[in-house]
Amino acid sequence: MSTDTPMLEICGLSKIFGKGTVNEHTALENVSLTLQRGDFVTIIGSNGAGKSTLFNAICGTYLPDQGSIHLGGTDITFLAEHKRAKRIGRVFQDPMKGTAPGMTIEENLALAYTRAHSGPLAPALTKRKSDFFRSALAKYNMGLEDRMKTKVGLLSGGQRQVVTLLMCTLVTPDLLLLDEHTAALDPATAEKIMEITNEIVRENNLTTLMITHNMQQALVTGNSTIMMDSGSIILSLKGKERDDMTMDGLLQLYTEKKKKAFTTDRILLSGQ
Task: Please report whether residue 260 resides in a domain.
Answer: yes
| Burial (CB count within 10 angstroms: exposed 0-12, middle 13-18, buried 19+), residue 118 | middle
DSSP class per residue in 148-210: TTSBGGGS-HHHHHHHHHHHHHSS--SEEEEESTTTTS-HHHHHHHHHHHHHHHHHHT--EEE
Residues in a beta bridge with 88 = 175
Task: Please report whether residue 253 resides in a domain.
Answer: yes
| Burial (CB count within 10 angstroms: exposed 0-12, middle 13-18, buried 19+), residue 266 | exposed
Helical residues (DSSP H) of the chain, grouped into ranges: 51-59, 81-84, 105-113, 127-138, 157-169, 187-204, 215-220, 239-243, 247-258, 266-269
Task: Please report whether residue 103 resides in a domain.
Answer: no
- The helix/strand/coil state of 216 is helix
Spatial distance between the Cα atoms of 233 and 194, rounded to a whole number of angstroms: 24
CA 125 centroid distance within chain: 27
- The helix/strand/coil state of 224 is strand
Q: What is the CATH number of the domain that holds 74?
A: 3.40.50.300
Spatial distance between the Cα atoms of 10 and 17, rounded to a whole number of angstroms: 19
Task: Please report whether residue 151 resides in a domain.
Answer: no
Spatial distance between the Cα atoms of 238 and 251, rounded to a whole number of angstroms: 16
Q: How many domains does the chain have?
A: 1
Sequence-distant (≥ 6) Cβ neighbours of residue 123 within 8 angstroms: 114
Q: What is the CA radius of gyration of the chain?
A: 19
- Give me the pLDDT at residue 255, please: 80
Q: Which domain holds residue 43?
A: 1-87+207-272
Angle at 43 between CA 20 and CA 90, to 5 degrees: 85
Spatial distance between the Cα atoms of 183 and 189, rounded to a whole number of angstroms: 10
Spatial distance between the Cα atoms of 166 and 182, rounded to a whole number of angstroms: 15
Per-position pLDDT tens, the chain of length 272: 556 899 999 999 999 999 989 999 999 999 999 999 999 999 999 888 999 999 999 999 999 999 999 999 999 999 999 999 889 999 999 878 888 999 999 999 998 887 766 555 455 578 888 899 999 999 998 899 999 999 999 999 999 999 999 999 988 999 999 999 999 999 999 999 999 999 999 999 999 999 998 888 999 999 999 999 999 999 999 999 999 999 888 888 888 877 555 444 544 544 44
Task: Please report whether residue 11 resides in a domain.
Answer: yes
- Give me the pLDDT at residue 135, please: 93
Determine the residue type at 21: T
Task: Please report whether residue 148 resides in a domain.
Answer: no
Task: Please report whether residue 70 resides in a domain.
Answer: yes
Q: Which has the closest alpha carbon to 207: 67, 58, 61?
A: 58
- Give me the pLDDT at residue 122, please: 52
- Give me the pLDDT at residue 112, please: 86
- Give me the pLDDT at residue 146, please: 94
Q: Are 234 and 227 in contact (CB under 8 A)?
A: yes
